Amino acid sequence: MTQDELKRLVGQAAADYVNANVPEGTVIGVGTGSTANCFIDAIAAHKHRYRGAVSSSVATTARLAQHGIKVFDLNEIESLPVYVDGADEIDPKGAMIKGGGGALTREKIVASVSEVFVCIADASKRVPVLGGFALPVEVVPMARTAIGRRLTALGGVPVLRVTQDGAPYITDNGNEILDVKHLTIHDPRALEAEINAWPGVVTVGLFAGRGADFCLLGSEAGVETIDYRSDR
C-alpha cells in the first residue's frame, strides 16, 4: 500500500475505535495533518453520534466545517473523552515528535485535557529513538535567536521554518517555528521539560509528558494496536 492508503487505513481504524468506545452525544478532540484529515473524513459518516469536535488548528476547523461537524472552543467543553492525532515520530513508550504541520501548541493543549490520546500513524513513524525528524519549537519571534543559541548548545541545528516564498512561517498563534535537526533524544520527557522552561518558548513538539495512550499503526499487514499505558 502507498503511504496515503496506510493513512486512510488508520484513519478508518480510529473512527471505528471512537465509535465503539466513545459515548454518543460527546465532543471529540481532533488533531492536525494529513493523517488526522483521514480520520475526519472517516468519522464524518457518523457525525450524528457526536455533539461536535474541538479542533487543534485553523486548517482542521475548516475541514470539520466542510463535513458539517460543529466545532467547539475548548473553553466551552468540560470534558474530552478522546483526542485523535497523527505523529511525525513515535517511540516504544508512546512519546512523540509532533508539529510538522505547525499546530504543535494547540495540539498539546487539546491532548493535555483529553482522557485518551489515540495516535494514528503509518509504520514509518515508529522509531527506537526520537530525533530523526527535526524537532519543532514554537517561539515568540523576539526570542528566536536566543532560543536558537540554547538549542545549538544542546547539540542541535535549529533552522527557522519558512514558507515557499522564503518568509518566516507564522503559526495560528502568531509565532515562529525553529526546526531542530541532528538531535538524538534518549530522554524525551526531560528534554521537553527543559526546553519548555526557557523564556520565549511557547511549546516544544515533544509529546512525552502527555504521550499517546494508544497507537493505531498501519502497515502492509494491517493495523496494529499498541497500548502504552502499562509502560508509565
pLDDT along the chain (232 residues), means of 10: 93 97 97 97 97 98 98 96 98 98 98 98 96 98 98 98 97 98 98 98 98 96 94 65
Report domain extents, the chain: 3-127+209-231, 135-205
91 phi-psi bin (left φ>0, alpha ψ -120 to 50, beta other): beta
Neighbours of 62 (CB within 10 A): 11
Q: Please, are residues 90 and 74 in contact by the beta-carbon 8 Å criterion?
A: no
Whether 11 has a binding-site annotation, put simply, is no
C-alpha distances in Å from residue 79, one per residue of 72, 136, 140? 12, 28, 30
Active site residues: 107
Distance CA 202, CA 214 (A): 26
Q: Is 229 exposed, middle or buried (0-12, 13-18, 19+ CB in 10 A)?
A: exposed
Q: Is 76 exposed, middle or buried (0-12, 13-18, 19+ CB in 10 A)?
A: exposed
Distance CA 118, CA 114 (A): 10
SS3 of 167-226:
CECCCCCCCEEEEEECCCECCHHHHHHHHHCCCCEEEECEECCCCCCEEEEEECCEEEEE
pTM across the whole model: 0.95
Could you say which of 2.170.130.10, 3.90.79.10, 3.40.50.1360, 3.40.109.10 is the CATH number of the domain covering 3-127+209-231? 3.40.50.1360
CATH 3.20.20.210 for the 135-205 domain, yes or no: no
- Read off the amino acid at residue 214: F
> What's residue 76's pLDDT?
96
Whether 155 has a binding-site annotation, put simply, is no
Q: For the chain, what is the largest distance between any 2 Cα atoms, rounded to a whole number of angstroms?
A: 51
Whether 179 has a binding-site annotation, put simply, is no
> What's residue 230's pLDDT?
82
Whether 103 has a binding-site annotation, put simply, is no
> What's residue 232's pLDDT?
59
